[in-house]
Structure 1
Amino acid sequence: MGQQCVECVQQGAKSVRQVKPLQQVRAWITWALIAVNVLVYTATVSDGVGGDVTGSQLFRELVLYLPWVAQGELWRTVTTGFLHLGLMHIAVNMLSLAMIGPGLERAFGGQRYAAIYGTALLGSSAAAMWLSPNAVVAGASGAIYGLLGAALVLSLRERLNPQTIIIVLLLNIGLSISLPGISLAGHMGGLLFGVLSAGALLYYREVCRGIGMPDLARKASTPWVLAAVVAALSVALIMAKVLAYAG
């Protein structure tokens, strides 16, 4: 995926301000996410029986399982994204995040990147709750699928060739379908909400024109409002499933 390094921006008729090239911007959020995932995994291994995280009390307190969420333990829809079932599981996910995340964080900026990641995580949990209500779900892969979706939206916005991203997505979807024990619903939910969140942040002008309110596109808050609507949709889906299950 191509990156454009902006060297300066116009500040007036006669002056320009130099800015850092994208490759020099630190991807703090990506590395913080990796660090938290590793710390949580280490804690669950230490708390488990013989290295089995499923025997960990901490794991049971944080994992996504609809009956427990329906008891009011809504934090599980977020904390599940920081749990992993084994060394290979976390290694693959963190390697993927390290490869995908920094470039996207630099391209979107830290705040927008965090918003996309968080929304994709919630969307992943919502999809898993609706489509796999009896499953115990753990892992960062739903949010990572969301980043892949955001990368696809970004490539289309910048008129770059999306072929590589599409191939990677198709390969990963194929693995999600063919391998046992993988939450396909969670992956697809993360992908969908990553696309929607990135679309809200990058295509807000087109959205405003589409709803007949082009003047809204001039407001700096508009992309954030649209992204918040997408995030609210993921929360609404979670709450709807909780209420349906409890009722």
Structure 2
Amino acid sequence: MQILKRLYNAPVTLSLIAVNTVIFCIMAISGHELWWGNADDLLLRGANYWPLTVVQHQYWRLFTSMFLHAGLWHLFTNMLGLLIAGIFLEPILKGPKFCLVYLVTGLVADYASIWFHPDAVGVGASGAIFGIYGAFLALLTTPLFKRSVKMPFLIFIALFVCLNIIVACFTVGIDNIAHLTGFGCGILTGYLLYFTLSKADASRLPN
């Protein structure tokens, strides 16, 4: 029952998951590789790529690439990470602010990604998702929450970051620049949003 209430209070999170999933399903039905993806196919559908995004001024790719995923596992891990963070953070920020964090950190992360990797084709929501975790971490370090409430979440975020670092050391193709930039931008955004929140907002984080 508690999880249903959490889901009910996270409509933006669920909407983002739905949009990402529907787009992937449409791509799969139209012939997109289910497990590993295809760079040429992803580029046609809006992937991020320096020669197109910046050189040819197709800046909309910074946005569209956030909703494309190379394969089913890529989609699943990203959406799971978004769901876990979103059902706790969105009720605190409310939909518009949560959406703002997602979009701003995702766009900044995507630009950083092609800046450092101009020859790589970039897709995925992970930059924005790391931004969500960064914003959550920033808010948890403020006086907004009681220590007894925030410690379990701080530990969880630390484990999330450490696990991703470990996976990145043994996996080819993970965009660490996007992750780190999104996370850092999320921290900054979280501290800025702190001044717009109240104890009533903080009370929506479970004890």
The question of 1:124 aligning with 2:116 is answered no
Deviation of 1:178 (Å): 3.0
Aligned match of 1:41? 24
Deviation of 1:204 (Å): 7.1
Task: For residue 119 of structure 1, give the secondary structure of its aligned residue in structure 2.
Answer: helix
Q: Deviations over 1:212-243 (max 9, x none)?
A: xxxxxxxxxxxxxxxxxxxxxxxxxxxxxxxx
Deviation of 1:23 (Å): 4.6
TM-score with structure 1 setting the length:
0.68
Deviation of 1:44 (Å): 1.6
| Structure 2 residue corresponding to 1:138, chosen from 88, 104, 123 | 123
Q: Distance in 2 between matches of 1:175 and 1:85?
A: 17
Q: Deviations over 1:168-205 (max 9, x none)?
A: 21221232243111111111111111111111111579
Matched ranges for 1:87-166 at <5 A: 87-157=72-142, 158=145, 159=147, 160-161=150-151, 162-166=154-158
Deviation of 1:167 (Å): 2.4
Percent identical among aligned pairs is: 32
TM-score with structure 2 setting the length:
0.80
Q: Distance in 2 between matches of 1:59 and 1:34?
A: 22
The question of 1:179 aligning with 2:162 is answered no
Question: Contact (CA 8 Å) 2:42, 2:68: kept in 1 or not?
Answer: no
Q: Distance in 1 between matches of 2:10 and 2:68?
A: 22
Task: For residue 72 of structure 1, give the secondary structure of its aligned residue in structure 2.
Answer: coil
Deviation of 1:73 (Å): 1.0
Q: Partner amino acid for 2:38? A: T
In the alignment of these two chains, the number of paired residues is 184
Question: Contact (CA 8 Å) 2:106, 2:182: kept in 1 or not?
Answer: yes
Deviation of 1:84 (Å): 0.7
User: Bigger CA drift: 62-71 or 161-170?
Assistant: 161-170
Q: Distance in 2 between matches of 1:193 and 1:55?
A: 27
Deviation of 1:48 (Å): 2.7
